[in-house]
Amino acid sequence: MEKDERIALFQKWFSDAIPHNKALGLKVIGASRGFASMQLDWREEFVGNPETGVLAGGPLTAMLDGCCGMSVATMLKNPEPFATLDLRIDYVRPAEPGKPVIAEAECYRVTRSVAFTRAFAHHGDPKDPIAAAAGTFMLGTKGRVTRAQSIGAETEV
Amino acid sequence: MSALLESLAEARKSGDVGRLAEAIPYARWMKIAPENGTGELLTRMRYHSDLIGNTFLPAIHGGTLGAMLEMTAIFHLLWETETDTVPKIVNITVDYLRSARPVDVVAHATVTKQGRRMVNVFAEAWQDDRSKPVATANAHFLVKSSDDAPPSL
């Protein structure tokens, strides 16, 4: 599968089809085995402090959760439902008003029950992060597999 | 004085903590607001369809639970502690305990340790049954510091 076609499918199932990701306008910009990357464009309604225009922590939290989750989906050859178990975020420095934020997540280990991920958010230079995250995901949770959870296997990423 | 601290002063005068959320665009967009009608300071995230993260279950997006727990901690620090600055978040760890159904989420925060510069806050979120939390969080905030930490709001 071509890279653009793969990214379009991840965009469709990981952003457009997930109401909160769609509401944030998350753009999938990278998807490969073990890796996920997304972009969040600055919007007035994401602002925490109207005087500075600095983003609230919430949009970053939701984006990093989604991006870590997508990195898990790229690892599953036999898709199963999964859910966030815990998520830690270190806020390293304030996001700059008006600038898009890029998140890059890596799923570096998958066991029978748990997937381990880490992620950084930045304005384009990964060496100058805004936030760092570590997320773990429980595999084989209740419910049926969503297309977002099976898209890694479908695209044979 | 910042708009947020101004609305804090107004909220204190009126006794209506809900006015704090009006100064924060993200809180308005997410429908997250503090309330103290029962005499206890709680923060509520009103259910709306944009909160959904899994349409099959259906369940509320984990990121929005983290976001509302963070706001719960901030509203608690503003309202319950004598603060003349907006607390700056350093980090937060969210534990997801149950999937959150498409109804309101309510949360309560407590200060675990108040230091001179650093505060450790615990927050817990539930839906209909307070004894069955959907998520909990621990967060650190810098208060009264000129450090270049990110502002919480």
Domains along the sequence of chain B with CATH: 3-142 (3.10.129.10)
β-bridge partners, B91: A90, B140
Interface test with B, best of A64, A88, A117 (most B CBs within 10 A): A88
The residue type of B75 is: F
User: Is residue B149's pLDDT more than 90?
Assistant: no
Residue B56, classed as helix, strand or coil, is coil
- b/e code A112-125 from CB counts within 10 Å (16+ = b): eeebbbbbbbbeee
What percent of chain B is modeled with pLDDT above 70? 93
**Beta carbons within 10 angstroms of residue B103's beta carbon:** 11
What percent of chain A is modeled with pLDDT above 90? 84
Query: Looking at residue A5, what DSSP letter applies?
Result: H
What pLDDT is stored for residue A129 in this prediction?
Answer: 97
d(CA A122, CA A101): 6
Residue B129 banded pLDDT, cuts 50, 70, 90: very high
Residue B150 banded pLDDT, cuts 50, 70, 90: low
User: Is residue A36's pLDDT more than 70?
Assistant: yes
pLDDT tens by residue, B14-60? 888 999 999 899 999 999 999 998 989 999 999 999 999 999 999 99
Q: Which residue range is the domain that position A63 belongs to? A: 3-154
Going from the C-alpha of B140 to that of each of A1, B91, B110, the distances in angstroms are: 45, 6, 12
Residue B147 banded pLDDT, cuts 50, 70, 90: low
What pLDDT is stored for residue B153 in this prediction?
Answer: 63
What percent of chain B is modeled with pLDDT above 90? 71
Residue B2 banded pLDDT, cuts 50, 70, 90: confident
How many Cβ pairs closer than 8 A exist between chain A and B? 151
By Cβ distance, the residue of B30, B52, B153 closest to A49 is B153
Average pLDDT (A42-46) is 96
CB of B29 within 8 Å of a chain A CB? The answer is yes
Number of domains in chain A: 1
Enumerate residues 6+ apart whose C-beta is below 8 A from A82. Answer: A69, A72, A76, A115, A137, A138, A139, A140, A141, A149
Enumerate residues 6+ apart whose C-beta is below 8 A from A95. Answer: A42, A54, A55, A60, A101, A121, A123, A130, B150
| Greater model confidence, B43 or B12 | B43
What pLDDT is stored for residue B15 in this prediction?
Answer: 87
CATH number of the domain bearing residue A142 = 3.10.129.10
Prediction ipTM score:
0.95
β-bridge partners, A110: A115
Radius of gyration for chain A, computed over Cα atoms and rounded to the nearest angstrom: 15
What pLDDT is stored for residue B152 in this prediction?
Answer: 64
Cβ–Cβ below 8 Å for A86 and B51: no
By Cβ distance, the residue of B27, B63, B90 closest to A62 is B63
Do residues B97 and B133 touch, judged by C-beta distance below 8 A?
A: yes
pLDDT tens by residue, A103-156? 999 999 999 999 999 999 999 999 999 999 999 999 999 888 999 999 888 888
Whether the ω angle into residue B58 lies within 30 degrees of 0, i.e. cis, is yes
The residue type of B93 is: T
| Greater model confidence, A66 or B85 | A66
Question: Is this prediction's pTM over 0.90?
Answer: yes
Residue A148, classed as helix, strand or coil, is helix
Cβ–Cβ below 8 Å for A19 and B51: yes
What pLDDT is stored for residue B79 in this prediction?
Answer: 92
What one-character-per-residue DSSP string does A83-132 give?
Answer: EEEEEEEEE-SPPPTT--EEEEEEEEEE-SSEEEEEEEEESS-TTS-SEE
The secondary structure element, H or E, covering residue A99 is: none
User: Is residue B148's pLDDT more than 70?
Assistant: no
What pLDDT is stored for residue A51 in this prediction?
Answer: 84
